Amino acid sequence: MHVKVLVTGFEPFGEEKINPSWEAVKNLSKEINEAEIIKKRLPVSFKAIKKKLPKIIDESMPEVIILTGQAGGRVNINVERVAINVMDSKKEDNDGYKPEDEPIFENAPAAYFSTLPIRRIVNALKHNKIPATISNTAGTYVCNTAMYVALHHTTLNGLNAKTGFIHVPYIPEQVLEKTQPFMSLEMIEKAIEIAIKESIKS
């Protein structure tokens, strides 16, 4: 069986020149355990995500969707459990938009749970000596919006795709001037690869 895995990372945002999520995703092999890996870079834009992500999903029709993003300040790989139907930000996105208490979609469910095997992924990461945990909040910025949009789209359209989100820490070059936790890019890449391998198991 030919399995397609859509893996996304984000463009840089805020003061950052790079985004470790995309740096790691773009380095992944085109094939992992015989699964085809489709890599896409997403904009850090609430409105653009709502338009672009469903199109990307429809074009690639993957069996697995793993979205990744940067969570500066988090100390380990965070496998997200839930996405909530709210956009609320203290800082502007890359389009200069700063929503407050806004639903992502009107009259849509309050939340969606990840359909990835999150516990198995975390256990596999720890087994491979990669610090990891299940996170119960993906925040209310664009990362949460992306996770919600993907789960809403797959649910609404009856797409049989395991879908979820993984937050990654800063990489060393981002913390040269700040005292924040970080993880090597190699370890982040390995973590995403392990998450893919666990997610394509039946």
What is the spatial distance between Cα 169 and Cα 40, in angstroms, rounded to a whole number? 19
- Active-site residue, selected from the candidate residues 63, 80, 193, 198: 80
80 catalytic per annotation: yes
16 catalytic per annotation: no
Q: Could you tell me how far CA 71 lies from the centroid of its own chain?
A: 10
What number of other Cβ atoms are within 10 A of residue 84's Cβ? 20
- Active-site residue, selected from the candidate residues 23, 63, 143, 189: 143
- Active-site residue, selected from the candidate residues 63, 152, 153, 167: 167
Kindly report the CA angle at 188 between 182 and 193, in degrees rounded to 5?
170
143 catalytic per annotation: yes
Strands 82-84 and 111-113, bridge-based pairing: antiparallel
Give the residue numbers marked as catalytic.
80, 143, 167
